[in-house]
Structure 1
Amino acid sequence: MLNSKNRQTGLRRHWKFRLFAPILAGATLRERLLACLGALIGIALTGLICGAIFGNGPHLPLIVAPMGASAVLLFAVPTSPLAQPWSIIGGNTISALMGVIAGYLIDDPIIATGVGVSLSIGAMSFTRCLHPPGGAAALTAVLGGPAVASWGLLFPLIPVALNSCILVGLGLLFHRLSKRNYPHIASVAPANSHQTADVPPLLRVGFQDGDVEAALVALNETFDIDRGDLGRLLHQVELQATIRSHGSISCADIMSRDVISVGNGATSKEARALLLKHNIRTLPVSDESGRLVGTIGLRELADDAEGIAGAISPAATASLAAPALSLLPVLTDGRTHAVIIVDDDRRVLGLISQTDLLSAVAQSLPNAAGRQIEAA
């Protein structure tokens, strides 16, 4: 009896979680509320702007129905390849044109709708602007009635293309104000900064691009994510798993505390002398109040300028409590030799070099091997 009651309680909790859990990965409550607000502003203003341009006469719909579906993609999943500006504008416009052509050439509306949607998918695929609401734009062009028929071949431009352009413009403004990344730029594969034929260090172990392609072929499915973003996500999963396994090592545990630094008013000669004397590759540079402004190394000092102010590079920073292994992507990018540990006021507390991190990783390996032996 008790087991049955516990099972029922567990099922209720499971379905409650399924009911309120986000459908999309990463869709926090804030993201979902922003999507609602963005769609409200985008659709309302698109209709108002078109109304101001054309008036409120019955001869033309101010905003076509597919814009509602476009708004869902634009504001709810702005990183999707299907929600990018060209996908929205090109997908809706080209699909509407396919629907108009199908409607003119085929008398039977049922057959015309099928042909219109089919043509729109093909046209969007070949023009790299696949956008699901485009199918609705093709249907609207065929079944829209007198309001659509009166505009003929202009319908894909007015109101479909006009609606799409206004909606995308409002989306660009909204995402910029809400600090969201749009248009989304897919992750670029790491490059070898030394300009040699070797694969970048991050790609020498673990999975590679060919593995991702092979997995997609094996699954035989299409996913709504760019290949570059998929690879970046999987690399981040690998990193998070490593941090979870060795997360007890913090930056405070392994950082160098006696940091050799220089003021931003120092000369190139002074900075170069410090680098050579202490056999280091990176000098933190602080302003008059002691706050970090950047770093400098021999590479930046190669031009022999009198002062270092114009040669300072942005600094890679982390906090005391950050997991030390979270610095792996930064310190293996082929360019960054040290991460500066700072407090909330950007005052230098320590420094972690590639050597510091390598030593920490090496010390953690025997422990991991020992745990595997014990588990076996």
Structure 2
Amino acid sequence: MLSMLRRMLPDTQLVSKTERLRASSGALLGILITGLVAGLVAGLAVGLDPALPALIAPMGASAVLLFAVPASPLAQPWSILGGNTVAAITGVSVSLLVADPFVAAALAIGIAIGLMMTLRCLHPPSGAIALTAVLGGPSIHDLGYTFVIWPVLGNSLALLALALLYNNVTGRRYPHRASLAPVDHRTRDPAPIQRIGFSSDDLDEVLKDYDAFLDIDRDDLESILRRTELRSYRRRAGDLTCKEIMSRDVVAVAPDESLRNAHVIMRSRHLKALPVTNDAAEVVGIITQTDFLDKPNWIKGEPTIGFRHRLRLIAQGASAANGTVKDIMTSPVKTIRPDASLSDAIIMFAEQGLHYLPVVAENRKMAGILSQSDVLIATLEAATKGDGRL
């Protein structure tokens, strides 16, 4: 009996307690605030339509998707808005045309699913929206197509707005985007991570042959598969660590160093990146040649902060620009520990399009810096020695 029950459990990855708390708290706040706002709107409109409902039950299912699995294609903004709207219109239309409630319910669900898949806005709670339009009783039927605008679209917009705010504040990018976005060099060459193992075309062909809806973004699936490949290489690699090959005599600058001085340091020392450290020698950012090219304006050979970048800094809540390193540095910066394996560094370089990695101790203090050139030389040396280490 116990073995049978175990087989019934879905084979899903158990997430951390923090993530479970984040998701459940988000759903709690989302439904609570949506209900309060909806109740206020319904109260104001009671003189116009006393049957106007405030909050409908399918929003609970939408909350599960928007807050617990915000990376799912089923939880994206177009999915909830398009899916719920299409389902509501379908349900109301079918209920007006078909008298038998069970036949109407079946037709509403079938047609709604077909339309949602065609319009790429599949959202499971929308099936409950279609059923509500058919089986909701006289109070829902009396609303007619008003049901589409309120409560369906009104509830959906409120819950979506809260999901946008909550997910991004708590560290979940929403609307979801694939985390691995290779740097676009505007050439025909694929990114380094895409030059090993399977190709993107291979994956597309397999998905085409599979011919079934997957509750995972296509780019996320490719990212997971490529990370799996890279980690399999790490498992087969040796034990060479970052501290064995990193540069230790590192030139760094302070956040308040002027852009002019930082640029002079980079040119005079032929450096392409400078770690940025505070008074406690903690790494707080990095400034690269790309930062100098993209962010400041150049007037008579001097870097200055232009109007557009000032607006960008204001929008990010940064302090007023004063022509210093902190105005254009990349922060927070990706770092790695001295005892991390070299294969870990290679994965970070490949996945995130980095060229330099500051190496920091447990206290975030600068210990060294690792470049792609360091990795290349170490790899060549290992291959020459034939010692099996990467």
Q: Name the TM tier (shorter chain).
A: 0.7 to 0.9
User: C-alpha deviations, 1:123-163, integer Å up to 9, x for none?
Assistant: 22233211011111111101111011110111111111111
- State which of 226, 229, 246 in structure 1 corresponds to 2:220: 229
1:312, distance to aligned residue in structure 2 (A) = 5.3
- State which of 172, 176, 193 in structure 1 corresponds to 2:164: 172
How far apart are the structure 2 equivalents of 1:318 and 1:118? 52
What is the one-letter code of the residue matched to 1:324?
L
Superposition RMSD on alpha carbons, in Å? 3.3
In the superposition, relative to structure 1, how do residues 80 and 149 fare at CA in structure 2: closer, same or farther (>3 Å)? same
User: C-alpha deviations, 1:97-134, integer Å up to 9, x for none?
Assistant: 10100111122222211221122112222332110111
Aligned to 1:28: 16
Q: Do the aligned residues in 2 keep the contact of 1:239 with 1:326 (CA within 8 Å)?
A: no
How far apart are the structure 2 equivalents of 1:298 and 1:52? 54
Point out the more displaced range, 118-127 or 73-82. Answer: 118-127
Q: How does 1:112-127 map to 2 (within 5 A)?
A: 112-127=104-119
Q: How does 1:53-72 map to 2 (within 5 A)?
A: 53-55=41-43, 59-72=51-64
Q: Secondary structure at the match of 1:318?
A: coil
Q: How does 1:196-275 map to 2 (within 5 A)?
A: 196-246=187-237, 248-262=239-253, 264-265=257-258, 266=261, 268-275=263-270
How far apart are the structure 2 equivalents of 1:177 and 1:67? 21
TM-score, structure 2 normalization = 0.78
Q: Which runs of 5+ in 1 are unaligned?
A: 1-10, 370-376
Q: Do the aligned residues in 1 keep the contact of 2:292 with 2:328 (CA within 8 Å)?
A: no
Is structure 2 residue 99 aligned with structure 1 residue 107?
A: yes
How far apart are the structure 1 equivalents of 2:189 and 2:136? 58
In the superposition, relative to structure 1, how do residues 117 and 253 fare at CA in structure 2: closer, same or farther (>3 Å)? same
Q: Give the count of matched residue pairs.
A: 353
Provide the identity percentage.
39
Q: Which runs of 5+ in 2 are unaligned?
A: 305-322
Aligned to 2:75: 83
Aligned to 1:155: 147
How far apart are the structure 1 equivalents of 2:169 and 2:334? 26
In the superposition, relative to structure 1, how do residues 140 and 175 fare at CA in structure 2: closer, same or farther (>3 Å)? same
Q: Do the aligned residues in 2 keep the contact of 1:200 with 1:333 (CA within 8 Å)?
A: no
Is structure 2 residue 56 aligned with structure 1 residue 38?
A: no
How far apart are the structure 2 equivalents of 1:30 and 1:22? 21
Aligned to 1:356: 374
Q: Do the aligned residues in 2 keep the contact of 1:272 with 1:298 (CA within 8 Å)?
A: no
What is the one-letter code of the residue matched to 1:203?
Q
Point out the more displaced range, 32-41 or 109-118. Answer: 32-41
Point out the more displaced range, 343-352 or 135-144. Answer: 343-352
1:229, distance to aligned residue in structure 2 (A) = 0.9
How far apart are the structure 2 equivalents of 1:290 and 1:32? 36
Is structure 2 residue 355 aligned with structure 1 residue 337?
A: yes
User: C-alpha deviations, 1:2-47, integer Å up to 9, x for none?
Assistant: xxxxxxxxx97x889879x885436333322333332233223322
1:298, distance to aligned residue in structure 2 (A) = 5.4
